[in-house]
Copies of this chain bind each other. A is one copy, B any other.
Amino acid sequence: MTNIRDIAAEAGVSVATASRALTGKGRVSAATVERVRAIAQRHRFQPNEIARSLSSGRSHSLGLLVPDITNPFFPELMAGAESAAKARGQTILLTAALGADSAREDLSVLRARGVDGFIVVGNPFDSAEQLREAAGSRPLVVVDRSESVTDLSTVVTDHVEGAALAVRHLIELGHTRIAHISGPPGLDVTDLRVAGYERELRAAGLEPRVVDGDFTVESGAAAVRALLDGPAAPSAITTANDLAAIGAMNAVLARGGSVPGDLSIVGYDDIVLAALVHPGLTTVAQDIGELGARAVEELERQLTGDTDVRTVSLSTSLVERGTTGRAS
């Protein structure tokens, strides 16, 4: 491995000058810069990032904590973050942790590895305070949590508006009995989407009806069965996420029903999977990759000294596919 000493020697300058020439920081004559860089290039010299980190205190790496890689929502977000990071010369250190304990542990490991900051998707802890503590005073941006994290930069989509969008679509199709399958109660994302759902429904003079779910396929299936078997079955539902919507759809199909014939369904997220089921899932789209990319951008902003807390909110849109139809 050729190191900066070799380069400096060959260029006939000190290591310090070579460093300045390479990084572009500090005064160096244009001539030396050119000479040093040419030599570095010829040797395909890659400065040792470890040494660089140790001495400069910055590692050009970002810790990304996601709750669950196998939920297709997160890889899409990771992809967005990864490419944004790469474009800025940062590397992603990935870790997946579900519970608070493992999250604390994982953040600690990443901290020891010197990540410059964290992107945390969701909040594995009970409070923003605990999260901040686990991040150890390092810059931090939270994705997809809004209410519960104050004083922390966040990147979110407008859940209230998104949920309202779904309801509006169903109302336009003539539906009047519209239920909502929610996420885990208490979670801010859940509550926000429920709020949007209820607001829009009430505005139309209709009665809201919420069944709790937990973002899983199974919970969507269970909820829809309960709904369909109960009194005054709905003709349409909105769901907290696409996975639950797909579970709901499968449950209807499994009992010989038809979608949207017997039940119109609107998902939420627009994961790639939404377009792959048959019929294609009508859903509230958020640009998931963008969520990750903006988080990187936000973090980068904080790393360059801008300390004010900011909330970037992305908009959502409805994408109509095959799971919604006119009320009969």
Residues of A within 8 A of B (CB): 46-51, 53-54, 59, 61, 69-70, 72, 74-76, 78-79, 82-83, 86, 91-96, 106, 108-114, 217, 243, 246-247, 249-250, 253-254, 272-273, 276-278
Contact = CB atoms under 8 A, between A and B. Distances in A.
B273 A253 contact: no
B114 A49 contact: yes
A51 B113 CA distance: 9
Contact of A70 (B50, B51, B246, B272): B272
19 contacts: A46-B111, A48-B112, A49-B112, A50-B50, A50-B53, A50-B59, A51-B54, A61-B93, A72-B75, A75-B78, A79-B96, A82-B94, A86-B95, A91-B113, A92-B95, A273-B273, A277-B277, A277-B278, A278-B278
B92 A94 contact: yes
A83 B96 contact: yes
A323 to B, nearest CB: 12
A275 to B, nearest CB: 8
Q: Which of A50, A91, A95, A112 counts the most B-chain CB atoms under 10 A from its CB? A: A50
A113 B85 CA distance: 15
Work out how many copies of this chain go into the complex: 2
Contacts of A96: 79, 82-83
Contact of A276 (B106, B114, B273): B273
B82 A76 contact: no
B112 A46 contact: yes
B113 A50 contact: yes
Contacts of A276: 217, 243, 246-247, 250, 273, 277
